[in-house]
Amino acid sequence: MALIDWLLRGGRRRPLTEAEKRGMEVVPLADRTPDKTVRTILTHVDEVNHDGRPRQLEIAECEIGDELILAIEPRPSMRPVAVSVWSPRTGGQLGYVAVDAAAYLGINAKRYDFRSTIVGIDRDDDGKTTVSLLVELFAKQR
């Protein structure tokens, strides 16, 4: 895959940014209005990230209204689409988009740009955290 990426970049030897390595692209949305919106919740919020930091600590540093980064993860063809959610504030992963919303976003990834924001953070008496997201879909400009 590295050879293909190198060829598609025109043979340039410029190192990839962390966002490019993950397949992420930040697109300025300016004053565009969304064509569609999707409300969903985060899953896998009780797990630990690869760096050993619990996702609950990452979520504790987030606030309602924070904009997040979505990344569609490569999967084998028979596995459902997975969309991971990252905090630009901490750089850590917060969890994954729920499966039904992830499938919808995966289908529309080539036609739309996404903006996702936190619209709710609820903590139960048991300490379980539920994070609600609003994902706005904007038609790609050509």
CATH number, domain containing residue 40: 3.30.70.2330
- Taking only the tens place, the pLDDT of each residue in 43-99 is 999 999 988 999 999 999 999 999 999 998 887 777 888 999 999 888 899 999 999
**Quick one: pLDDT at residue 142?**
66
Q: Is residue 103 part of a domain?
A: yes
**Quick one: pLDDT at residue 75?**
79
Q: How many domains in the chain?
A: 1
73: domain range? 18-139
Q: Is residue 81 part of a domain?
A: yes
Q: Is residue 10 part of a domain?
A: no
Task: Kindly state the tokens that stand for 101.
Answer: 């919303």
| Cα–Cα distance list, 25 to 50, 71, 97 (Å) | 22, 9, 18
Q: Is residue 33 part of a domain?
A: yes
Residue 80: exposure state from Cβ atoms within 10 A (0-12, 13-18, ≥19): exposed
Q: Is residue 28 part of a domain?
A: yes
- Taking only the tens place, the pLDDT of each residue in 29-47 is 567 788 999 999 999 999 9
Q: pTM (2 decimals)? A: 0.75
Q: Is residue 5 part of a domain?
A: no
**Hunting for tokens 């959610």 — which residue is that?**
85
Q: Is residue 11 part of a domain?
A: no
Q: Is residue 68 part of a domain?
A: yes
